[in-house]
Structure 1
Amino acid sequence: MITGKVTDRREAVIDLEIVDQNQRKVRVEAAIDTGFNGYLTLPKATVTSLELQPAGNRIATLGDGNTVILEVYLAVVIWNDQEREVLALQAEGGALVGMSLLYGNRVTITVLDGGEITIEPIQ
């Protein structure tokens, strides 16, 4: 099970473990974004420090309707105690977990400051 907290800025945030090129697990704080249908976005500094492998570019439509080209990287995340390879888009702002990574899981959020978040596989 993955857990997190609701921040005082009303963001549902979890600590996500990402495996870097040296096989070290690095914790990254990521907000849950149900409006994002991809797996994961990471800021450039995080992509650089993890030394993620490039996987091309992708056209993306942002929440404000603008279309941009984003660099794509292969990332290995620890998800429900399993290594999972996903595509991470390099984007401005903080890390985001999207619906593709959440798919197949039950997400429970107590929407209060400090409220608990649980993510667990649907059996």
Structure 2
Amino acid sequence: MISGSVRNREAIIEIEVSAPGQPPQQVAAVIDTGYNGYLTLPGQLVTALRLPFVGHRRGTLADGSVTRLDVYLATVPWHGHPKEVLISQAAGAPLIGMSLLDGSRMTVDVVDGGDVTIDELP
């Protein structure tokens, strides 16, 4: 089980992110069910983690504008197993999207300090 909490009406979990051969770094990320990707990270964190660049992807932002995003490869522990994920570099807080949540059940107690739990589906 992966757990976190609600802060200012945002479901947040701590997740370890690492590049091949690099130590992991703990990242607080907001769960965004409107984001279809795996994970976004700001540029300074991508650089600090030394994530390998894999290409570009077109992305539609929350305001509806379309942009080109740099994409990197990282590993995160997910349901007890390492999982390779694509990281989209984007400004703002790190976001966890629906691709990472795929195959999971998420429950959120939507009050300040409420529990966020993510369980692997059978």
Is TM (by shorter chain) over 0.5?
Answer: yes
Cα deviations by residue, 1:39-86 (Å, 9 ceiling, x for unpaired): 110000110010000010111011111000010000111111110001
Aligned residues: 122
One-letter amino acid matched to 1:5: S
Distance 1:76 1:93 in 2: 21
Question: In the alignment, what sits opposite 2:116?
Answer: 117
Aligned to 1:3: 3
**Match of 2:63, SS?**
coil
CA contact (8 A) 1:21 1:50 kept: no
Secondary structure of 1:47's aligned partner: helix
- AA in 1 matched with 2:112: D
Q: Say whether residues 1:14 and 2:10 are aligned partners.
A: no
SS in 2 for 1:37: coil
Equivalence map 1:7-46=2 (5 Å): 7=7, 9-46=8-45
RMSD: 0.9
Pairing of 1:50-65 with structure 2 (within 5 A) = 50-65=49-64
Q: What TM-score comes out, normalization by structure 2 length?
A: 0.96
Residue 21 (structure 1) shift:
4.1
> Sequence identity, in percent?
50
Structure 2 residue aligned with 1:79: 78
Question: CA contact under 8 A between 1:20 and 1:26: conserved in structure 2?
Answer: no
Q: Distance in 2 between matches of 1:104 and 1:23?
A: 27
Residue segments in structure 2 that go unaligned for 5+ positions in a row: none
Report SS of the residue matched to 1:49: helix
TM-score by length of 1: 0.96
